[in-house]
Amino acid sequence: MGADLATVLMVFAVLTDGDIPTESFWLGSGPGKVGGLERHSTVEADISPNREDFYLGCGDNHHLSSRLFQQNVYYATQDPNKQFSLDCMSKQWAANGKFSVKNNPYLYYFPFPSIVATAAFNFYPNFFSNGTYGAGGVANYESISSIIGAKLNKNTGQFEYVPERWPAQGWYRRSTEYGAVQALTEAFTRIYPSYPVSMLFPQAQGGTLDAKTALCYIYQGLNSVTPLALAGEEQAAAAGITWALSKLLAVGLDGTTLGCPASTLSPNTYLYPNATNKGGPLNEPASVAANIGSNVYYKTYFTSAPTTPKCSHSS
């Protein structure tokens, strides 16, 4: 990875999920149990190559989705070289984008995180291929499935999520740097054009856009540009605004955070009023909380498409 691309990603991570004075960031929750790269609606966005959206996955946006990787493998088999090429990943982006726009009323695809979300698709061939992609390296099934932790269960035809590993035949990293200019160029000229998702209320493309989903989108957008040091204040202010708006029944809110149901928010919500009370308006439902946390391997997740939040999805 080029120093310029690494710097772009690092700055974004430190700003929204880290500590500016020490120029560090957290993978899990930071001080006050807020933040971390795993937090949804900061760096982590919807429309992932092979993970489900946070809302539709009922909080599970981190386990490998069997049905999405099946789809990705199909596109790879249609590739002239049977690889997870840029064209293959462009088709995966289009299919996933269309699905999210249609089915996820709380789709999170804001300008800053959209860079990470979209570039993740061209990262597959460029970072996961065996050797340098475009210079003899191969983004084949053996390399991709090993690195992302997918293993075919031949009895069921589904993909299990297993520990990420190097390919059995060995693996060689890139011999040239992959910089910010190339990453952004490929993301927005090779991936994104196959299905341009609006960064301003994507639900308007064919999903559900109303006062509630629009307000939720605005709140998640604020999350994406709010330094972690101010996150608590931002959330407290949002809770106060929500209380006032909830008095206006015509708006259709029900005590959630600027239109976001509790099931759309990552587990940093206990800074909000009443969050410690059972059934509090800003607690995640137990079904969502159960799906947030460490990866659990050797299981199969999402064998069918979650067109509505799917809280029981593993076997």
Residue 188: which CATH number?
1.10.489
Domain-located, residue 199:
yes
Q: What is the pLDDT along the chain (315 residues), one digit of tens a residue?
A: 888 888 878 877 777 777 777 777 777 665 555 556 666 766 778 999 999 998 899 888 889 999 999 999 999 999 999 999 999 999 999 999 999 999 998 888 877 778 888 999 999 999 999 988 888 889 999 999 999 999 999 999 999 999 999 998 888 888 999 988 899 999 999 999 999 998 877 777 877 777 777 777 776 766 665 554 455 544 544 444 444 444 433 444 444 555 666 667 665 443 334 434 433 334 566 777 777 666 789 999 999 999 998 888 888
Q: Are 139 and 147 in contact (CB under 8 A)?
A: no
Domain-located, residue 309:
no
The overall pTM is greater than 0.85: no
Q: Are 46 and 60 in contact (CB under 8 A)?
A: no
Q: What is the DSSP string of 69-96?
A: HHHHHHHHHHSTTSS--HHHHHHHHHHH
Domain-located, residue 312:
no
Domain region containing 145: 3-300
Domain-located, residue 308:
no
How many distinct structural domains can be found in the chain?
1
Domain-located, residue 132:
yes
Domain-located, residue 315:
no
Domain-located, residue 314:
no
Domain-located, residue 310:
no
